[in-house]
């Protein structure tokens, strides 16, 4: 294999690894926002999932149990958000920010005894002859969660576009009053969407602590939850675009890592580290500059539903 070929494959695999947790978290948030709910607590739920998955895997030695526990714990925190915003009609933006702060603090407290400890990488499900092959590993060398993320993109796209339940969810997000008037359970639909979003954030979080690192450290996700939120807007609430956007952001992050590794000194390392977040700000600025009527956002996004009002 040529030197160029030997570099391309690790770069591709790094891009996939960086993009997958963002894709998972953004996919969950997309479903939440399609239902008309804005949950800014993605970062906090990812951290709760990360520490739960790592702790359970450390105790049981079973990463699958750790992953399921991470999804359940993050969904539990999402349920709290749902109760406050859907049942008690609290402000969704303020509650989401509070959930992020809560997740940061809770994960730091719960993970205090696990700092610096490691677990075995939740590696490829394929035989070593494929996963470790110099070339074929670019297809078979990933964690099962990578393949799950790709399947979920197809599944969510099909669900939203081709199923009656998906149509109901989109109807609730576009006009909750109209959906309620023809008998759809708006609050129940939004609860289910919020729980799904929490589970996906937990799955994304444990990808960091069980696959990429694999260890626990405070604020392990390093703000990637905010990138996932921006990515939903960048993708105009479409799963296929979400996939492309996640890999675009993954490529930006990988550029930073490889530039540092190569000793690229023309640009300050701090600027390279800030590139993914600068790209996030740029995306939001471009989209906010669109004409008001061109937004693809659900019409009821962030608005509380009060059937008796």
In 191-208, which positions are buried (b, 16+ CB within 10 angstroms) versus exposed (e)? bbbbbbbbbbbbbbbbbb
Q: Which residue has the tokens 């994304």?
A: 204
Q: Please state the pTM of the whole predicted model.
A: 0.91
| pLDDT recorded at residue 291 | 44
Q: Using H for helix, E for strand and C for coil, what is the string for 44-95?
A: HHHHHHHHHHHHHHHHHCCHHHHHHHHHHHHHHHHHHHHHHHHHCCCCHHHH
DSSP, collapsed to helix, strand or coil, labels residue 142 as: coil
Tokens representing residue 26 in the block? 């953004």
User: Which residue, among 228, 235, 240, has the nearest Cα to 277 in the 3D structure?
Assistant: 228
pLDDT at 302 over 50: yes
pLDDT at 306 over 90: no
**Which structural domains are found in the chain, ordered by start?**
3-294 (1.10.3470)
Q: Which residue has the tokens 């390279």?
A: 272
pLDDT in tens, 12-36: 999 999 999 999 999 999 999 999 9
Cβ pair 235, 23 in contact under 8 A: no
List helix spans (H) across the chain.
3-34, 42-60, 63-82, 92-110, 128-131, 137-140, 144-162, 164-174, 176-181, 186-207, 224-234, 239-261, 269-288
pLDDT at 131 over 80: yes
Distances (CA, A) of 34 to 28, 155, 266, 305, 308: 10, 15, 43, 14, 23
> Greatest CA separation found in the chain?
69
pLDDT at 3 over 60: no
When computed from its CA atoms, the radius of gyration of the chain, rounded to whole angstroms, is: 20
Average pLDDT of the segment spanning 116-141: 88
Tokens representing residue 261 in the block? 């590794």
Mean pLDDT of the chain: 89
Q: Which residue has the tokens 């099909």?
A: 158
| pLDDT recorded at residue 4 | 46
In 274-287, which positions are buried (b, 16+ CB within 10 angstroms) versus exposed (e)? ebbbebbeebeeeb
From 127-136, 156-165, 215-224, 248-257, the region with the lowest mean pLDDT: 248-257
Segments of 203-286 assigned E as strands: none
DSSP string, 268-305: -HHHHHHHHHHHHHHHHHHHHTS-GGG--S-TTTTPPP
Quote the percentage of the chain above a pLDDT of 70: 88
């Amino acid at each position: 294999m040529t030197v160029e070929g030997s570099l391309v494959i690790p770069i591709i695999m790094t891009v996939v690894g960086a993009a997958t947790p963002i894709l998972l978290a953004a996919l969950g948030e997309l479903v939440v926002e399609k239902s008309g709910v804005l949950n800014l607590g993605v970062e906090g739920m990812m951290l709760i999932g990360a520490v739960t998955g790592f702790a359970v895997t450390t105790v049981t030695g079973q990463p699958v149990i750790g992953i399921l526990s991470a999804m359940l714990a993050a969904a539990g925190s999402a349920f709290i958000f749902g109760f406050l915003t859907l049942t008690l009609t609290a402000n969704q933006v303020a509650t989401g920010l509070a959930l992020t702060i809560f997740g940061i603090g809770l994960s730091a407290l719960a993970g205090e005894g696990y700092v610096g400890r490691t677990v075995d990488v939740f590696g490829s499900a394929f035989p070593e002859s494929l996963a470790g092959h110099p070339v074929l590993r670019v297809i078979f060398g990933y964690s099962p969660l990578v393949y799950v993320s790709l399947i979920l993109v197809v599944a969510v796209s099909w669900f939203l576009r081709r199923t009656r339940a998906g149509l109901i969810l989109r109807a609730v997000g576009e006009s909750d009053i109209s959906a309620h008037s023809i008998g759809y359970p708006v609050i129940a639909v939004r609860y289910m969407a919020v729980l799904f979003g929490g589970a996906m954030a937990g799955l994304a979080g444990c990808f960091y602590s069980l696959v990429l690192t694999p260890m626990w450290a405070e604020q392990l996700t390093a703000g990637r939850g905010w990138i996932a939120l921006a990515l939903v807007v960048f993708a105009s609430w479409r799963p296929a675009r979400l996939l492309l956007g996640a890999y675009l952001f993954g490529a930006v992050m990988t550029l930073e890592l490889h530039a540092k590794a190569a000793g690229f000194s023309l640009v300050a390392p701090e600027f390279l580290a800030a590139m993914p977040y600068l790209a996030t700000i740029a995306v939001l600025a471009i989209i906010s500059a669109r004409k008001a009527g061109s937004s693809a956002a659900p019409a009821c996004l962030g608005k509380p539903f009060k059937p008796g009002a």
